[in-house]
A and B are shown apart, each in its own frame.
Chain A
């Protein structure tokens, strides 16, 4: 081979190498996949933890309105005195910065804090005990990733004898059953996912199961509804077709109520608006549907048909006052026949939050009005104005009575003194 040919071959090889190098090293070209770069394992677990922390609505109690997120300090009024919610940011001195995943799981699972103290059951550990170890670890990883805030916890202000934590041993014996969620093999994966979220992180039972004088709720009464202590709203039964029992609702109607805040069957206000705003609106469509499937399947405890209209029990004069107020103030949005304009303005005919045994919620709505939460799927909700300054106790009682018995509704009459009791409370 002549020297020239070898040089030519070498040059060709070099040229090819150069082209290859230029091709491989050409600037500005990123991987062509449209997908975002794959998140690292730690990012994934933190994102999962953030989602689960939303499912648990940690932020609602552990953050002072407008204050630093998760830094605690919020006063929680209970029938036994004020509790002050602790700082759960990862600050080493005042938060949970020195906790381990084991200690966090023990707290979630057993209600025993890092220092061995028994937690007051305002922390819903009776529900969180159902949370899996994996999910607990993810929530912990997320909490470790948020900005630490130095803010000392405030001592609780509980009255004697409730300031003695030893009493909690008795409470725990009566009302606390430790144990992770056990899937029911006879049910679908979807049902089990819904049950896990509702009974565990969702801690729905905290409001939708009646609380007795000892601040406990018994399992046999699960989801049967109850007054929410210190908030004076009634959390309806989820197991009674006479209240918010969901046996007759379509799955998408239940899912909309939870995730959107409004539905064709009803609208959330008051404490439930807070839950939807801070927590449920962020649940995925799949998880929302799973919760709806589980809730719809809850055993309905009153099979008997609802009682017939009580209209005949009402003094005709009261009925006429109520009708006049309704026509003047309410019919514009809720319709002459109470059919509403759902989901913007809820229907009143056949709406069980109007007719259920306790009239607290409809009275409060008439007095104070209300806006459903602005959510990702309903960012501009329609609202209802207050009427407390327009209508006196007799008129409010008459119009609430009217909507509870008109159009075949099966509610009972309301008295002016019931209205007066609620008028004295601040709206919240």
Chain B
């Protein structure tokens, strides 16, 4: 009864509260907002200033879009941040004391969102790099033993269930940052760590080229991750088990 009262009071306060004003940079959907206090939307307000209300990402290129990524991938990341096996202090701090079932619920919530993609960043014109990025992403580099991104991350770059993230909607800074961290061993996935094998075969120029090319791709907003299909994966990945 009391709780219902609180919830009603909350709703009332909410109605009375002035509507959040849109920021000059158009970041309205990165400002705390929700309809019902006892809901997952209200509970994940801790995520919104970086990842946006629906996980669509924000103007800041380093904070990734998380909407629509496979729930298994998002859950693995939340657990890794909590346990410190993936290091990014602001995330490590936020989820440090959250139990598994709740992290799973948060992961499933964002995995189910299909917000529109943010407009792609303006990329500097560099035809050679563009060509190299296109090649790495769609064909791979057999000489270097690097498979195409699309072979695992999906032909629309929307990822693959259960553990491979979509790459569409990510910005250059984030993709290049992750590939570099993988190459130097700061970021790891479950063994066998296929991304480690791939990232260590890429040069700085490769990473810059493929990150820039990927950041320009915008699939349909309602596209979902591809179903798991172990047969065609060019490398074994621990996160797909």
Contact = CB atoms under 8 A, between A and B. Distances in A.
Interface in A361-383: 368-374, 379-383
A341 B10 contact: yes
A101 to B, nearest CB: 33
B43 A387 contact: no
Given A385-B46, A385-B49, A373 B14 contact: no
Interface residues of A, number: 42
Given A368-B90, A382-B43, A384-B46, A332 B33 contact: yes
A371 B82 CA distance: 12
A66 interface: yes
B48 A331 contact: no
Interface in B1-24: 6, 9-10, 13-14, 16-18, 20-21, 23
Contacts of B42: 344, 382
B43 A381 contact: yes
Interface residues of B, number: 45
B43 A383 contact: yes
Contact of A386 (B9, B37, B50, B98): B50
A14 interface: no
Interface string A59-70: 000000110000
B120 to A, nearest CB: 21
A373 B31 contact: no
Given A65-B84, A369-B94, A385-B48, A328 B37 contact: no
B13 A335 contact: yes
Contacts of B96: 273-274, 277, 371
B60 interface: yes
A273 B95 CA distance: 11
B127 interface: no
Contact of A371 (B23, B30, B49, B98): B98
A196 to B, nearest CB: 26
B95 A428 contact: no
Contact of B31 (A276, A332, A335): A332
Interface string B161-184: 000000000000000000000000
Interface string A101-138: 00000000000000000000000000000000000000
14 contacts: A273-B97, A277-B97, A327-B18, A328-B23, A336-B13, A341-B6, A343-B6, A381-B43, A382-B37, A383-B46, A385-B45, A389-B60, A427-B90, A427-B94
Interface of B: 6, 9-10, 13-14, 16-18, 20-21, 23, 27, 30-34, 37-38, 42-50, 60, 83-85, 89-90, 92-99, 101-102, 105
Which 4 A-B residue pairs are closest in the complex by CB-CB distance?
A383-B46, A373-B97, A427-B93, A385-B49
